[in-house]
Amino acid sequence: MQWRRFVSLPILAVLLLMIIVFYGTVFIFLDDWVGFQSSAGLTNVVIFSTLASFTLFSFLVSVFTDPGAVPSGYFPDIESSDGSDQESRESEALTKRCDKCSAYKPPRAHHCRVCRRCVLKMDHHCTWINNCVGQRNYKAFFLLVFYGTISSLYSTVIIVGCGVQKDWESFGTTRLKTFYITSAVMISLLSLTLGTLLGWHIYLLIHNMTTIEYYEGTRKVWLAKKSGQIYKHPYDVGAYRNVTMILGPHVLKWLWPSASSHVKDGTSFPTVRDSL
């Protein structure tokens, strides 16, 4: 059933882009610059192939990993303070009920109109992986952007370096110059796009925030400021702890996309109030 996710033009486009970038970088520009027979050439082939492999692996994990579904029969755990009665508890529970799914949803869960279900700790629905980014596959998605950015930057250096050292007076036809310039511009734009996306998700990661929560929080910040108060994201429990909740407690496993045994069930999360 999961293999049906690959029947998607955006996914095929991503795979095709990976193939084109890898082939062009290694077999055209790198070979033309230093060649495969030299130690420098072989070293660069190994490094770039490793980065490309991790990018592809992260992509596959992002596609095939379910982002997290709300457990069947879930009911929100509402703390009863000051002797509140059952009626007030039910009233609060209604605010955590999804009308489309006709079921209760945990904190940070949202309904995806594309997937037609509620997703645990939903960040967004990504067309390029034909899947939601949520509780169980956010780490893989983050590493996909991370490895993709490094790979594209590495490719940019190789393409630009090859172009700078090339003897254009002897071999520089107009068509070849156009090809080099176009390739350099395209890979630079890809690097800029992925780099910007990586910077955005590093910010979210450090603050333990999803994209949805960021945009919801902008209004809460405005309302708090208007009333003379300061709004703090309730799930921001400190940069290091925020990072370990996503990437894992073991630093050596941070860069491995499928190392997700630390991921919880996604129905409850530590908050700033818990640490007080």
Which residues partner with 126 through β-bridges?
A: 131
The active-site residue, picked from 98, 112, 118, 126, is 126
d(C-alpha 253, C-alpha 9), whole Å = 32
Q: Is 126 a catalytic residue?
A: yes
Helix spans in 65-173 (H): 86-94, 138-165, 168-171
208: left (phi over 0), alpha (psi -120 to 50) or beta: left
5: left (phi over 0), alpha (psi -120 to 50) or beta: alpha
Distance of CA 53 to the CA centre of its chain: 17
Say if residues 236 and 122 touch (Cβ distance below 8 Å): no
d(C-alpha 201, C-alpha 243), whole Å = 11
Q: The tokens 């700078």 sit on which residue?
A: 164
Active site residues: 126
